[in-house]
């Protein structure tokens, strides 16, 4: 082989080697870019995880603080929130003139508003015993449409939470309306579900004399089981409302009694 041929072959191999080296450099540079990008992604993911964890911590702390406040409210209510009491040191849920209201519907509305404020319920109603009609008549509601209020305007049957609570004289909790044996398949169950209700708690408004004036019912959009604090608050409100309603009944009874006959003089 001539010297010129050998020189040409060496030049070709050298060029090929340079191409391989350049290709290796490009691959290395590309790998370094990908590595830096991966590190940035990992750093971003770590920051996102840290931010999410901090958010969860804040939410958890906020919820814990909220329920501590509710527990304190429950304690205050247990000590001081007896309607008709002049002791104003405790938590005040009603306006001062509430103790002088003589309209049962207004009393029911005030109790219901307080119940929805202090509980996790989104809707509710108050029904009072109507001895003439022989059932529960709705006098206050929050969150329901005309279909619901018209259907439950007067309840006589036990196949609902409120009807069962009145008949049995105890609080009735329906965890999930769809799966409850209390709500038999039919118009009542369908009306409740179409109103967006999945859980119901019905509490008798029973006064100190043992007479039930009506039912306080709170409704939840999802299956729900109230915890001890929520149950306690609702029971206290129901007790307060019952005392006010029974006191009103007694006062109206006195008002209906004839006065002394003063004679004609």
pLDDT, one tens digit per residue, over 213-262 is 999 999 999 999 999 989 988 998 999 889 888 877 655 544 444 444 44
Residue 92 Cα distances to 34, 107, 128, angstroms: 64, 15, 24
Instruction: Give the domain-ending residue among 56, 80, 104.
Output: 80
pLDDT band at 264 (very low <50, low <70, confident <90, very high): very low
Q: Do the domain assignments include residue 91?
A: no
Q: Do the domain assignments include residue 132?
A: yes
* pLDDT reported for residue 203: 98
74 and 184 in a common domain: no
Q: Is the pLDDT of residue 31 over 60?
A: yes
Is pLDDT larger for residue 1 or for residue 172? Answer: 172
102 and 186 in a common domain: yes
124 φ, ψ (degrees, to nearest 5): -175, 170
127 and 194 in a common domain: yes
Beta-bridge mates of residue 130: 135
Closest CA to 238 of 102, 124, 152: 124
pLDDT band at 142 (very low <50, low <70, confident <90, very high): very high
104 and 16 in a common domain: no
Q: Do the domain assignments include residue 236?
A: yes
- Mean confidence (pLDDT) of the chain: 80
130 and 160 in a common domain: yes
C-beta separation of 158 from 167 below 8 A = yes
Of how many residues is the chain composed?
Answer: 265
104 and 69 in a common domain: no
Q: Is the pLDDT of residue 78 over 80?
A: no
Q: Do the domain assignments include residue 243?
A: yes
> CA 100 to CA 131: how far, in whole Å?
24
154 and 244 in a common domain: yes
> CA 46 to CA 74: how far, in whole Å?
42
Map residue 200 onto helix, strand or coil. strand
Q: Do the domain assignments include residue 85?
A: no
Q: Do the domain assignments include residue 89?
A: no
Taking only the tens place, the pLDDT of each residue in 179-226 is 988 876 688 899 999 999 999 999 999 988 899 999 999 999 999 999
Task: Provide the CATH number for the domain around residue 238.
Answer: 3.30.450.40
C-beta separation of 187 from 148 below 8 A = no
Q: Do the domain assignments include residue 248?
A: yes
113 and 57 in a common domain: no
Taking only the tens place, the pLDDT of each residue in 81-92 is 443 343 434 444
165 and 67 in a common domain: no
195 and 71 in a common domain: no
Task: Give the total number of structural domains in the chain.
Answer: 2
57 and 7 in a common domain: yes
Sign of torsion, CA 229 230 236 240?
positive
Is pLDDT larger for residue 263 or for residue 118? Answer: 118
Write the secondary structure of 23-79 as one string of H (helix), E (strand) and C (coil): HHHHHHHHHHHHHHHHHHHHHHHHHHHHHHHHHHHHHHHHHHHHHHHHHHHHHHHHH
Instruction: Give the domain-ending residue among 36, 54, 80.
Output: 80
Domain that holds residue 202: 96-256
Q: Tokens at residue 39, please?
A: 């590190």
236 and 138 in a common domain: yes
Q: Do the domain assignments include residue 200?
A: yes
* pLDDT reported for residue 101: 61
């Amino acid at each position: 082989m001539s010297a010129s041929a050998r020189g040409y072959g060496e030049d070709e191999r050298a060029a090929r080697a340079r191409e391989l080296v350049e290709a290796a450099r490009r691959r290395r540079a590309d790998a370094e870019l990908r590595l830096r990008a991966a590190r940035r992604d990992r750093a971003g993911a770590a920051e996102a995880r840290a931010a999410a964890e901090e958010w969860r911590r804040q939410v958890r702390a906020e919820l814990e603080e909220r329920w501590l406040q509710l527990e304190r409210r429950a304690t205050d209510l247990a000590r001081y929130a007896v309607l008709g009491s002049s002791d104003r040191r405790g938590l005040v849920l009603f306006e001062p003139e509430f103790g002088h209201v003589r309209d049962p519907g207004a009393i029911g509305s005030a109790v219901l508003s307080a119940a929805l404020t202090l509980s996790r319920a989104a809707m509710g109603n108050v029904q009072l015993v109507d001895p003439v009609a022989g059932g529960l008549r709705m006098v206050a509601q929050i969150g329901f449409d005309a279909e619901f209020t018209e259907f439950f305007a007067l309840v006589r049957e036990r196949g609902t939470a409120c009807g069962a609570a009145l008949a049995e004289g105890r609080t009735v909790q329906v965890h999930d309306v769809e799966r409850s044996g209390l709500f038999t398949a039919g118009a009542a169950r369908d009306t409740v579900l179409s109103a967006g209700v999945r859980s119901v708690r019905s509490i008798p408004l029973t006064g100190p004399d043992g007479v039930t004036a009506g039912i306080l019912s709170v409704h939840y959009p999802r299956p729900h089981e109230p915890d001890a604090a929520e149950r306690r608050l609702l029971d206290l409100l129901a007790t307060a409302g019952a005392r006010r309603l029974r006191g009103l009944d007694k006062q109206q009874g006195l008002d209906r009694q004839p006065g002394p006959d003063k004679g004609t003089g």
